[in-house]
Amino acid sequence: MPVPAPNLYPDFNTIRLSHVCLNVKDLAVSRKFYVDMFGLQVTNETDSHIYLRALEERGHHSIVLQASDAPGTVEVMGFKLFDETDLDRANKWFQTKGRPTKWIERPHQGRTLLTSDNNGVPLEFYHKMDRLPTIHQQYARYHGVRPLRIDHFNCFSPNVDDSVTFYSEMGFRVTEYTEDEESKRLWAAWLHRKGGVHDMAFTNGTGPRLHHVAFWVANPLHIIDLLDVMSTTGYVENIERGPGRHGISNAFFLYILDPDGHRIEIYSSDYQTVDPDHEPLKWDLKDPQRQTLWGAPAPRSWFEHGTQFTDVAVKEAELNATPIIAP
């Protein structure tokens, strides 16, 4: 199936991904991981939630840690819209797609629309979020991997072609994709709004489930620094894959797991995709440099482990195709 043509004039204008709410078992344990070790900044704490931002971010939060009886699940993924009128247009568009919509209250956010995509992934859209003073030149705060900003989400999808079609209609543009040569179906795809390689990606697999959330760092050496920290502070078993360089996106990467099993990617040195006529790059599923330009192949866990969305049923992937997996 061919990649859909980009929709340059969607019904509503999504600027970028914004935030994710992760359900965790123990806020103190998660705080130690995300703040003390990883390097995110606390913007607010309650008995049930911790709000975090990265060092370049002016919005109140990009990660929300929520104490839950269902740890290791994902509550919602958030996106920022261009203006208030886009919220009403988004509400109408999702209703035309047969998706449930409702207006909800979220701390530190303005009017917020809660809905879901074609697979049931819970999505929320807003225009206004509390703005905080800049801290990116407060270098005494820099520690861990020095995370600068949230970069993208990646989700398992049981039908990547359908996911790409849905998000393309929303105005997301494909930058790179993996095609199974036998079936001519998509095995994975990377789509963006903000002008990087992706805000949203889909990987073939049992889903919908969150595969990972990624943070952008300025220097690959910061990833090496994080590995040294993790290996000497009790987190060596949380290192899952990398470091290495992706063929797709060209990014220097590392994948780690938090105490509840949520996968976090640290990501650096991808490329710009601002031009609306940017042509997507095609990769063969069996190309060994697709997933890893150099470095060890991905372990089996990377293709099988993901975190489910709260109260969202999953189903097996429709495409039965296998990439290169480390022994």
Predicted local confidence at residue 1, as pLDDT: 64
Same domain as 154, residue 125: no
CA 41/CA 141 separation, integer angstroms: 8
Residue 210, in any domain of the structure: yes
CA 25/CA 158 separation, integer angstroms: 28
Predicted local confidence at residue 288, as pLDDT: 85
Number of domains making up the chain: 2
198-220: average pLDDT:
97
CA 123/CA 42 separation, integer angstroms: 23
Same domain as 268, residue 206: yes
291-306: average pLDDT:
93
Predicted local confidence at residue 291, as pLDDT: 86
22-44: average pLDDT:
98
Same domain as 289, residue 153: yes
Domain of 32: which CATH number? 3.10.180.10
253-276: average pLDDT:
96
Residue type, 83: D
Residue 158, in any domain of the structure: yes
264-291: average pLDDT:
93
Q: What is the DSSP letter of 181?
A: T
206-233: average pLDDT:
97
Same domain as 114, residue 189: no
Same domain as 151, residue 118: no
Residue type, 306: G
Tokens of 100: 């449930």
Same domain as 107, residue 76: yes
Contacts of 156 (CB under 8 A, 6+ apart): 202, 203, 204, 205, 206, 207, 208, 209, 210, 211, 306, 317
Predicted local confidence at residue 327, as pLDDT: 65
Per the rule left: phi > 0, alpha: psi between -120 and 50, beta: everything else, 295 is left
Give the residue from 77, 103, 130 where a domain finishes: 130
Same domain as 156, residue 56: no
Strand partners, 191: 174, 200
Give the residue from 100, 130, 160 where a domain finishes: 130
The chain-wide mean pLDDT, for the chain, equals 96
Same domain as 224, residue 178: yes
Residue 238, in any domain of the structure: yes
289-294: average pLDDT:
90
Q: Categorize the per-residue pLDDT at 208 as very low, low, confident or very high, splitting at 50, 70 and 90.
A: very high
pLDDT at 2 over 90: no
Same domain as 300, residue 176: yes
pLDDT at 96 over 90: yes
Predicted local confidence at residue 323, as pLDDT: 79
Give per-residue pLDDT as tens, 112-166: 999 999 999 999 999 999 999 999 999 999 999 999 999 999 999 999 999 999 9
Residue type, 220: P
State the residue range of the domain holding 181.
Answer: 146-308
Predicted local confidence at residue 321, as pLDDT: 84
Residue type, 1: M
Same domain as 167, residue 304: yes
Residue 59, in any domain of the structure: yes
Same domain as 179, residue 120: no
pLDDT at 68 over 90: yes
| pTM for the predicted model, two decimal places | 0.97
Residue in this structure with the two tokens 């997507």, named with its chain if needed: 280
Residue 151, in any domain of the structure: yes
Residue in this structure with the two tokens 């020095």, named with its chain if needed: 146
Residue in this structure with the two tokens 């192949």, named with its chain if needed: 297
Q: Categorize the per-residue pLDDT at 247 as very low, low, confident or very high, splitting at 50, 70 and 90.
A: very high
Residue 3, in any domain of the structure: no
CA 211/CA 201 separation, integer angstroms: 9
Predicted local confidence at residue 326, as pLDDT: 76
89-104: average pLDDT:
98
Same domain as 114, residue 238: no
